[in-house]
Amino acid sequence: MAYLLNARSVVNKLQELRYMLYAVKMYLLFVTETWLNENVPTGCLDPESHYYVMRCDRKCDRGGGVCAFIHKSLCPVEIHVAVNYKDLELLCFDLSCSTTKMRFFLHLSPTK
């Protein structure tokens, strides 16, 4: 199962996040409006290390950001976005299951 959550500050909702990750046991959780920055270590989001955590924090201003939690039973392959798009809050990765390959994009448009 995959879920999308608009957090509006995931740090303020760590208890709810950990419930979703550890009690509900999601395989894919996509979070927009994470409001994360370089001062928030990824380890505080998933202290039990059950997930690959990919994140793209907003570089300037407050707010924004996207994050993906991918259960470690899956094997994501991160796709690096061209440097032309480095200002986008964009994550891209592939998941392969048997003969099927799926590409995921998680994007948040900055507000102007």
pLDDT tens per residue across span 23-43 = 999 999 999 999 999 999 999
- Total number of domains in the chain: 1
Percentage of the chain beyond pLDDT 70 is 97
Domain ranges, residue 57: 2-108
Q: Are 65 and 57 in contact (CB under 8 A)?
A: yes
CATH assignment at residue 68: 3.60.10.10
φ/ψ of 75, rounded to 5, equals -125, 85
Task: State the pLDDT confidence band at 59, using cuts at 50, 70 and 90.
Answer: confident
φ/ψ of 11, rounded to 5, equals -65, -35
Percentage of the chain beyond pLDDT 90 is 75
What pLDDT shows up at residue 45? 97
Greater model confidence, 108 or 102: 102
Q: Tell me the mean pLDDT in the region 87-92.
A: 87
Burial of 90 (0-12, 13-18, 19+ CB in 10 A): middle
pTM, two decimals, is 0.91
